C-alpha cells in the first residue's frame, strides 16, 4: 500500500482543483510547463549524430525541478498528469527521466484524463499507464524540425534583410497566405452594379420586392442608363402575382466544437482573438470556484475531434428528457470525425450539463460566461432534433421582369430552442396574403447603386479555418501561429483583420522566392502528416528529418552565397528636407515599417512618418502622413504635413490606388456588413464616396 503520492500537473490552477478531489495521501504540484527543453542560445541539434537534440534545464526552472525531485523522493510514488497531447507527453517524459536521475527506485506512472472532474481524476488515478514513446518522438521530431528551420533561416534574414529578425517553419506559411491575400486586396478595383426595388400595392397592403430576373436571366446591371431603360419599359404595365411558393427545409444542429471551430465561432460571434479564446478556455478547463467547490467546467480544449463519450451523451439526453422532451431525438445524433483528425480527445463540451449558462453567470466573469455559453449551447443543441423552416416567396411579373419577396419562419424550432448567444440575427419580412393571378398597383421603382467588394483580409477566424483546411498546424498551434506573427510585427491586427507590415511582406517575398517548398502549403501539410505517422504508426523520425534537411541546408548555403543583401538598399534618398538641420531625409525600414530619418544621424536624430499620398486640398503642396493627437495617444488618423496651415484630415488610410474617375487617392474603409471597401477621397467625385470619407477643417 502506497503511503503518499506526488501528482504533477502543468499549471497551479489545475493543481489546486485536482488536490481538492484527491484529499489526504496526495500532494499535487505544478511543473509550470516544460522544465527540460532545447537551449535558446544555440541550435543544439547534432546534425552528424542522427539529429539528436541536446536538452538542458530551462533557464529559471532549476528551482522548480529541484523542488519536485525533493517531493518525489519523500513521496516514493509519482503520477505524471501533464496534458494528453504531444507537448504534455514530452513534459512527462523529461520529468520522469529527471526524477529517476535523483532516485532510480522511484515508482513513476503516467495518468491521462479529458476533463477535470472528481470522477475523471479518480478513474485516471486508478488506471495509470506508461509514457507514450511514439507521442514523445513526434514532439521531438517537430521540435528538431522547427529548430533546424528557424536557426538556419533567421541568421540568413539577419545578413540579408535586417538584424534581429526570425523565421519559423509553420508561421512563415501562414505569413505567406496573409501576404498573398493582401496583394489581392490591394490590387482590387471595385466594379459598379445596380439593383432595382419595386414598391407595390394591393388594396391597403404595401409590398416591397426586388428585381431578381429580367428576360429569364439573373440580374447583372452595370450602369444607371441600363437600369433606367428597364424602368421605362415597366412603366404603365400592370404587375401580376405569377407564383406563390412555399419550401420546407430541415436544419441540422452543428457538431460540437473542436479547437478550430471554437476559435472561429468565438472570433465571429464574440470578437475574441484566438489567443484570448484559448486563455479563457484554459481557465474553464482547469477549474472555477463554485460556492465551496472547485470545478473544471469544460473538457480539454485542444482537440480536432467531434467524438462524444457515451457517458456525456447519456447525461445530455437525460437533461433534455427532463427539460425539452419534445426536442429529444429517438437515438443520439452522431457526427463523423475527419480522416485527418488525430481523435486523441473528444469534442469540447461542458463537464456537467446541469451547470447551465444561466446558473453560471454569478460564478464567471463576462468573458468566461460568453465562452462557456457558446460551448454549452453548441453541445446541448447537437443532441436535439432538427429545426424545420418554411420559406414563402411571391413572384411579381411585369413584362419580362420578375420581382420577388421572400420570408422564412420556423415550423419546428428543434435545437434552436436552446440557442441564444449563437442565434443568427435574421430580418423577418411580413409576407402579404396573395394568390397567383392577383393584380397589383405600382407605387414606385427605386434604383440603387452598388459597388463590388474585394476579397477580405484574413481574420483570426478565417486564417484558422484556412490553416485547418490545408492541414497546416494542429489544434495546439493555431493560436500561437497568429500570436508569433503579431509579436514579431510581421502582421498587425486592424479592425480585427490581419494585415502584413512592410517588413512582413519583404520577409515573405524573400522566403517564397528562395525557399518555395519550405513555405508551401502542400509541403507543410505533408510534414504534419509525417509527424502524425511518427505518433500513430511508430515511423522512424530521424530518416524523415534527414530527407528534408540535406536539400534544405544546401539551399540555405546557396542563398547565403548568391543572394545580395538588401540591407541598406532599402534606405532610399528622398526629396524631403529635415526641418531641424536642413539635411536630406532618408527612407529607412524599421521594426514597425518604413520611416524618414535625417541623413545627419547621429548628430541629428530627427525622424518622421513616410508620406502616403499628395494632399488633395486645392493649392496645398503637402503630403498625407499618419498622425495621432498630441501625446501620441488615441486612434491613428491621416492628415496633411503642412498642418496647422492645412487642416485636411482623413480617418481612413490612403491606398496606393488612384480613383479611376478623378485621379484622387482612394481610401480604405471597413464596413461591418460588406467588409473592406475603397472609396474616393474627393468630395466632388461620386466613386464610392460618402461625406464621412473626408473632413476638411
Predicted pLDDT of residue 693:
36
Q: Which of 248-257, 385-394, 525-534, 681-690 has the lowest mean pLDDT?
A: 681-690
Q: What is the C-alpha to C-alpha distance for residues 15 and 12, in angstroms, rounded to an integer?
A: 5
CA–CA–CA angle 400, 405, 410 (5° rounding): 145
Q: Residue 228: pLDDT above 50?
A: yes
Residue 21 half-sphere exposure toward CB, CA atoms < 13 A: 23
Per the omega criterion (within 30 degrees of 0), is the bond before 324 cis? no
Q: Is 352 a catalytic residue?
A: no
Top CATH class, 4-131: alpha beta
Q: Residue 592: pLDDT above 70?
A: no
Average pLDDT over residues 490-494: 91
pLDDT category of residue 216 using cuts at 50, 70 and 90: very high
pLDDT category of residue 381 using cuts at 50, 70 and 90: very high
393 touches 406 (CB < 8 A) = yes
Listed in sequence order, the DSSP H helices in 105-254 are 118-126, 133-160, 169-187, 224-234
Domain spans of the chain?
A: 4-131, 140-188+456-562, 192-252+387-451, 259-381, 572-696
The larger pLDDT score, comparing residue 524 to residue 670, is at: 524
| Paired residues of 397 in beta bridges | 240, 402
Q: State the fold for domain 259-381.
A: Topoisomerase I; domain 4 (1.10.290)
Q: What's the alpha-carbon Rg for the chain, to the nearest Å?
A: 31
pLDDT category of residue 334 using cuts at 50, 70 and 90: very high
Average pLDDT over residues 544-571: 90
According to CATH, the superfamily of the domain at 140-188+456-562 is: Topoisomerase I, domain 2 (1.10.460.10)
164 touches 158 (CB < 8 A) = yes
DSSP classification of residue 63? H
Q: What is the pTM of this model?
A: 0.83
Predicted pLDDT of residue 314:
96
Predicted pLDDT of residue 431:
85
CA distances from 510 to 92, 373, 504, 516 (A): 39, 44, 10, 9
pLDDT > 90 fraction of the chain, expressed in percent and rounded: 72
Q: What is the pLDDT of residues 77-96, one digit of tens each?
A: 999 999 999 999 999 999 99
Q: Which of 300, 372, 638, 664 is catalytic?
A: 300
Q: Residue 426: pLDDT above 90?
A: no
**Owner of C-alpha cell 495509470:** 128
CATH architecture, range 192-252+387-451: Distorted Sandwich (2.70)
**How crowded is residue 313: how many other Cβ atoms within 10 Å of its Cβ?**
16
Predicted pLDDT of residue 616:
83
Question: Which three cell numbers mark 466?
Answer: 484556412
Output the 3-class SS for 225-263: HHHHHHHHHHCCCCCEEEEEEEEEEEECCCCCECHHHHH
Amino acid at each position: 500500500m502506497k503511503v503518499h503520492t506526488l501528482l504533477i500537473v502543468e499549471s497551479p490552477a489545475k493543481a489546486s482543483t485536482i488536490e481538492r478531489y484527491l484529499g489526504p495521501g496526495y500532494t499535487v504540484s505544478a511543473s509550470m510547463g516544460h522544465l527540460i527543453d532545447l537551449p535558446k542560445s544555440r541550435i543544439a541539434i547534432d546534425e552528424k549524430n542522427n539529429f539528436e537534440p541536446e536538452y538542458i534545464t530551462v533557464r529559471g526552472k532549476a528551482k522548480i525541478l529541484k523542488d519536485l525531485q525533493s517531493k518525489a523522493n519523500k513521496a516514493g510514488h509519482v503520477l505524471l498528469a501533464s496534458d494528453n497531447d504531444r507537448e504534455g507527453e514530452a513534459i512527462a517524459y523529461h520529468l520522469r527521466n529527471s526524477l529517476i536521475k535523483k532516485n532510480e527506485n522511484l515508482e513513476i506512472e503516467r495518468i491521462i484524463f479529458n476533463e477535470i472532474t472528481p470522477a475523471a481524476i479518480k478513474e485516471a488515478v486508478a488506471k495509470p499507464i506508461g509514457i507514450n514513446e511514439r507521442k514523445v518522438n513526434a514532439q521531438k521530431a517537430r521540435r528538431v524540425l522547427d529548430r533546424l528551420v528557424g536557426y538556419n533561416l533567421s541568421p540568413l534574414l539577419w545578413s540579408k534583410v535586417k538584424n534581429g529578425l526570425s523565421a519559423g517553419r509553420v508561421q512563415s506559411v501562414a505569413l505567406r497566405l496573409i501576404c498573398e491575400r493582401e496583394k489581392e486586396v490591394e490590387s482590387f478595383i471595385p466594379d459598379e452594379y445596380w439593383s432595382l426595388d419595386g414598391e407595390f400595392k394591393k388594396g391597403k397592403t404595401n409590398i416591397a420586392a426586388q428585381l431578381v430576373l429580367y428576360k429569364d436571366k439573373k440580374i447583372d446591371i452595370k450602369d444607371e442608363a441600363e437600369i433606367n431603360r428597364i424602368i421605362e419599359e415597366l412603366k404603365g404595365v400592370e404587375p401580376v402575382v405569377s407564383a406563390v411558393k412555399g419550401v420546407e427545409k430541415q436544419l441540422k444542429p452543428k457538431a460540437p466544437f473542436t479547437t478550430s471551430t471554437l476559435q472561429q465561432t468565438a472570433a465571429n460571434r464574440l470578437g475574441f482573438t484566438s489567443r484570448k479564446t484559448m486563455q479563457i478556455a484554459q481557465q474553464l478547463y482547469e477549474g472555477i470556484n463554485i460556492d465551496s467547490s472547485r470545478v473544471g467546467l469544460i473538457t480539454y480544449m485542444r482537440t480536432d475531434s467531434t467524438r462524444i463519450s457515451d457517458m456525456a451523451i447519456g447525461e445530455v439526453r437525460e437533461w433534455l428528457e427532463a427539460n425539452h422532451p419534445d426536442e429529444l431525438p429517438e437515438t443520439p445524433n452522431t457526427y463523423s470525425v475527419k480522416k485527418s483528425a488525430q481523435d486523441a480527445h473528444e469534442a469540447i463540451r461542458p463537464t456537467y450539463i446541469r451547470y447551465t449558462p444561466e446558473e453560471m453567470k454569478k460564478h464567471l466573469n463576462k468573458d468566461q460566461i460568453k465562452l462557456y455559453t457558446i460551448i454549452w449551447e453548441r453541445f446541448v443543441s447537437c443532441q436535439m432534433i432538427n429545426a424545420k423552416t418554411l420559406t414563402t416567396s411571391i413572384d411579381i411579373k411585369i413584362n419580362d421582369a420578375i420581382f420577388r419577396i421572400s420570408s422564412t419562419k420556423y415550423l419546428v424550432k428543434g435545437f434552436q430552442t436552446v440557442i441564444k448567444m449563437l442565434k443568427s440575427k435574421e430580418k423577418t419580412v411580413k409576407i402579404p396574403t396573395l394568390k397567383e393571378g392577383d393584380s397589383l398597383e405600382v407605387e414606385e421603382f427605386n434604383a440603387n447603386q452598388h459597388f463590388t467588394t474585394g476579397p477580405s483580409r484574413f481574420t483570426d477566424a478565417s486564417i484558422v479555418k484556412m490553416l485547418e483546411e490545408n492541414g497546416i498546424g494542429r489544434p495546439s498551434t493555431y493560436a500561437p501561429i497568429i500570436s508569433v506573427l503579431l509579436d514579431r510585427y510581421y502582421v498587425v491586427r486592424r479592425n480585427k483583420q490581419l494585415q502584413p507590415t512592410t517588413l512582413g511582406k519583404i520577409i515573405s517575398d524573400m522566403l517564397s522566392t528562395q525557399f518555395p517548398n519550405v513555405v508551401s502549403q502542400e509541403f507543410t501539410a505533408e510534414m504534419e502528416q509525417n509527424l502524425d505517422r511518427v505518433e500513430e504508426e511508430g515511423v522512424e523520425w530521424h530518416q524523415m528529418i534527414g530527407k528534408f534537411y540535406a536539400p534544405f541546408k544546401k539551399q540555405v548555403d546557396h542563398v547565403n552565397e548568391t543572394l545580395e543583401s538588401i540591407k541598406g538598399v532599402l534606405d532610399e534618398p528622398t526629396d524631403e528636407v529635415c526641418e531641424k538641420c536642413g539635411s536630406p531625409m532618408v527612407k529607412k525600414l524599421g521594426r514597425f515599417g518604413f520611416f524618414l530619418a535625417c541623413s545627419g544621424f547621429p548628430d541629428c536624430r530627427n525622424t518622421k512618418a513616410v508620406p502616403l499620398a499628395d494632399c488633395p486640398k486645392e493649392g496645398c503642396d503637402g503630403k498625407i502622413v499618419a498622425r495621432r493627437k498630441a501625446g501620441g495617444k488615441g486612434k491613428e488618423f491621416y492628415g496633411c504635413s503642412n498642418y496647422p496651415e492645412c487642416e485636411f484630415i482623413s480617418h481612413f488610410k490612403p491606398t496606393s490606388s488612384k480613383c479611376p474617375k478623378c485621379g484622387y487617392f482612394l481610401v480604405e474603409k471597413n464596413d461591418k456588413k460588406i467588409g473592406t471597401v475603397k472609396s474616393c477621397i474627393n468630395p466632388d467625385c461620386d466613386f464610392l464616396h460618402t461625406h464621412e470619407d473626408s473632413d476638411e477643417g
